A = this chain, B = another copy of it.
Amino acid sequence: MLNFSEISIVHIDDHLLFAQGVYSLIGNETFIQNLVHAETLSEGLELVKKIQPELVLLDYFLPDSKGVESIQKLRDIYPDCRIILLTMENNPEVMEKCRREGAIAYLPKSISKKDLVEALENAIQDIPTFPQLSPDPPLVSESKSQLNILSKREKQIANLITKGYTSAEIAEQLFLSEFTVNTHRRNLIHKLGLKNSAQLVAFIENLKFKES
């Protein structure tokens, strides 16, 4: 059995039900003294400043902050806390980025209670947890003939644009420079003979239906 004093945890996640679920699952663990929840990063930052928790559980996308920025901001105000990502993004590149920013663990929300508790216990002892992830399947299948003039990367970026991500957000997700994403964006519009991103989205959406 492990022997460490009781700890405090701040959980920052805008998915209320998930947060409540986490709370009722691990809230009773003996080593946890205090588990508080915040919906936004700014809310979370205040809690962290006040409580100075040993652990922070952090969702990757938050309404007021995204991705590694959240890690940096947490580090800025309280460098001693161990940051555990707890997120839907099962992207190895994203995970790698988080590791570089100093997170101590990166856990998919599909984790079991047992593994979660284990990762928490490890984190307290400064043992990192970075599982092997299988990357997401490509969002655009190769069969969409009209898209075949586009490269793989271009298709990927076209889809993210369609979902409403900005170039900066896409760059972050794909671990690219924003310049690169904008170059791809330009090439996409040009290759398809379109005028702007609105037409690009309309074009892609139409293809999805025609071939479904």
Contacts and interface: CB of A to CB of B under 8 A. Distances in A.
Interface of A: 14-18, 20-22, 24-25, 88, 108-113, 116, 161-164, 166, 194-199, 201-202, 205-206, 209
- Copies of this chain present: 2
A59 to B, nearest CB: 10
A194 B164 contact: yes
B16 A18 contact: no
A16 B164 contact: no
A164 B21 contact: no
The 4 closest A-B pairs by CB, nearest first: A21-B21, A164-B199, A205-B205, A201-B201
Given A197-B198, A198-B162, A198-B164, A112 B14 contact: no
B112 A20 contact: yes
B111 A17 contact: yes
A196 B167 CA distance: 13
A205 B208 CA distance: 10
A14 B22 CA distance: 16
A206 B206 CA distance: 8
Contact of A195 (B15, B16, B164, B198): B164
Given A16-B110, A17-B113, A109-B17, A166 B196 contact: yes
Contacts of A17: 18, 21-22, 25, 109-113, 116
Contacts of A197: 197-198
